[in-house]
Amino acid sequence: MTAISTALRGATAALNRSSRLQSSIVTTASRSLSTNPHVVIDKYVSAPFPPQAAPASLAAHQQPIRHPNDFLDRNANYSDEDTRSMAGVTATVRHNWTKPEIAEIYNLPFHELMYRASTVHRMYWDPAEVQQCTLLSIKTGGCTEDCSYCSQSTRHKTFVKPTPTMKTLEVLEAAKRAKEAGSTRFCMGAAWRELGNKKNAFNNILDMVKGVNGMGMEVCCTLGMLNAEQARQLKEAGLTAYNHNLDTSPEHYPKVITTRSYEDRLDTIANVRDAGISVCCGGILGLGEKETDRVGLLHVLATLPEHPESVPINALVKVIGTPLGDAAADEEVETDGIGDVDSFDMARMIATARIVMPRTMVRLSAGRLSFSDAEQYLMFQAGANSIFNGDKLLTTDNPAFEEDTALFQKFGFVGKPAHAGPRVAQAGANSIFNGDKLLTTDNPAFEEDTALFQKFGFVGKPAHAGPRVAPSEVMGEVEITKVRGAEQQYA
């Protein structure tokens, strides 16, 4: 019997106890075993309370239950799991998604997409727990690549000036400050095309990895292309994750970067994965891509042999001096939407990623400073459960630590601990006034509300018609289904 088996048995016992203590909150967990090849093996109630709001009587009996932190161990525990269902939504971890399937999800009416993504999120994650990461540029500027969005390329004239690699002690001091501010993952980035033969620099980075790991933090690096031996050494030093973004779809990629092929990036991702390091891989919105390119990027990620452990979703931060930044700033140039990314674009991308890769952490990354607290909450509701904090992301501005602390308090979020797997999830208004006046006060005009309804995917309620029956009246019950023979084992 695996450790997760014991944990889930314990979860059921805890839920049974809590049902007696708080009968109005949760119902008794139930399991149904049979020799039917399609069987329900577990049911539980999702998120009856945020962690800080649970009654003392319930909290005393119920401790957080966690899955393994290592993505390989976690996936192995669920190798025979078929689907999970809750509140009329069914989710599954699969690697054979087609582009039309992902496009159908991406293009759902916004309200339906958000509902599905938020429900899937609650099936696999505690929605109150958000990972906090800090990203430090340990080698800034001087990169020989021609990425058309990047301020660190030698081919672009930007505000960034090349600097030497930081000393190990400086980096460890920065990691210590990040940990004290609440971060549990420390990421180090170097503006290199590849590690290549940088032996001295690589040895220093290995020391940095060992030092940060020794603080009890998770460690991530983004150093350009890696070969298999370099990946092995990083794993041996204690590296948790390696970031190597694909940026966009294979079709749009050549319009953004020419000095490194898409296949080069996939090769590095394979080397990282084969070394047993968690893969962090995502993309950037606002590169002049079409919505089909956003779907294409998600298709590549969702059909990798293993889904990335984390997928950063970035909004382009336009930097004057880069080709994309200059194009976005020139009012006379047709930009094809360069840098034109709003909160709905971000939420739609995050929500689709959450549905097609349910066990992946989705990271709200660059560009967060341009969104209000309410817009960021929309993105968390879409399924984001990781952020970068600290006032810099490599060379671009980001919310300061204290601002994110206030944001977490406002939303009722708690930070995800380092080296801890996903926490097993514990178990509004529908009418408006339209027209440009409310008696004597101003109100949105009819055409504005028509556009709003189209954006959200809403339809008007007919006159003299009762409420439409919801697709499902099941609220909060998660059903895990396995396909096996006669003997069924708890996950």
Active-site positions read 143, 147, 150, 187, 220, 280, 363
Residue 34: exposure state from Cβ atoms within 10 A (0-12, 13-18, ≥19) = exposed
Dist CA 396 CA 104 (whole Å): 34
Residues in the chain: 491
Dist CA 176 CA 179 (whole Å): 5
Alpha carbon distances (Å) from 377 to 58, 392, 396, 397: 28, 21, 22, 20
What secondary structure does DSSP assign to 55-104, as a single string? -HHHHTT----B--SSHHHHHHHTTTEEEEEETTEEE---S---HHHHHH
Spatial CA neighbour of 159 closest among 394, 407, 335, 338:
394
Per-residue b or e along 411-422, where b marks 16 or more CB atoms closer than 10 Å to that residue's CB: bebbbbbbebbb
Q: Quote the radius of gyration of the chain (alpha carbons, Å).
A: 24
Q: SS3 for 437?
A: strand
User: Phi-psi region for residue 309, left (φ > 0), alpha (ψ -120 to 50) or beta?
Assistant: alpha
Alpha carbon distances (Å) from 320 to 148, 315, 328, 357, 462: 11, 16, 9, 35, 50
Spatial CA neighbour of 108 closest among 397, 456, 477:
456
What secondary structure does DSSP assign to 341-396, as a single string? --HHHHHHHHHHHHHHSTTSEEEE-TTGGGS-HHHHHHHHHTT--EEEESSEETTE
What is the CB neighbour count within 10 angstroms for residue 432?
Answer: 12
Q: SS3 for 280?
A: strand
Say which residues have a Cβ less than 8 Å from residue 93's Cβ, sequence separation at least 6.
75, 78, 81, 307, 357, 358, 359
Let me know: does 427 contact 43? Beta carbons within 8 Å: no
